[in-house]
Amino acid sequence: MNGKEPKKPLSFVALLLGVLCLFACIIGLYTFYNAKGMSYFSNESEACNNCHIMNDVYNDWLKSSHSKKIAGKPRATCNDCHLPHSFVEKWIAKAESGIGHAYAFTFKLDVLPTNLSATQKSKGMIQDNCVRCHSEMVSNVVNPTTNPHGNESLSCVSCHTGVGHKRGF
């Protein structure tokens, strides 16, 4: 012998790790396909309704003025109201939301709420988008940054609670 030991155990470990990685990739792709993962890269509100927890919110949106179509497109999609509009910020927010939802729906099924509620961060995005879309219409009537009832800024949805949907804010 030349002093070298056979590398069979190391080869077996490498093969086992390779098989496990391949299995994990197959499971991941299957889950992504089953969860309609590609739809989340779109701007379509239907993607938000992939999950049954959003059925009521989506049905409310379908009845709202924002879902009414102009030239074949809704006035406002879920993304139009709930995500920033700059390219980088939008995709960062989508990724954060998607990872958070995936984690919750995978590991926290026993504590999921019946309806999701907006976080402080998402409330801020929604307010910014209300003002961005409607500032010309309301600029002579309302200053969207003042609140006559306290020191917090006035939120559009404090008066217009059911405009986009009735639940979750």
Residue 3 lies in a domain: no
Q: Same structural domain for residues 89 and 70?
A: yes
Residue 166 lies in a domain: no
Annotated binding site for a menaquinol: 79, 90
Q: What is the mean pLDDT of residues 50-77?
A: 88
Taking the model in full, what pTM does it have? 0.72
* Residue-number span of the structural domain to which 32 is assigned: 9-41
Decide if pLDDT at 76 tops 80: yes
Annotated binding site: 48, 51, 54, 78-79, 81-82, 90, 130, 133-134, 156, 159-160, 165
Here the CATH number for the domain that contains residue 130 is: 1.10.3820.10
Residue 140 lies in a domain: yes
Q: How many domains does the chain have?
A: 2
Q: Same structural domain for residues 51 and 91?
A: yes
pLDDT of residue 146: 55
Residue 148 lies in a domain: yes
Q: Same structural domain for residues 143 and 97?
A: yes
Residue 154 lies in a domain: yes
User: Within 10 Å of residue 61's Cβ, how many Cβ atoms?
Assistant: 23
Question: pLDDT tens digits for 99-141?
Answer: 888 788 778 878 777 667 788 888 889 888 988 898 888 766 6
Q: Same structural domain for residues 48 and 28?
A: no
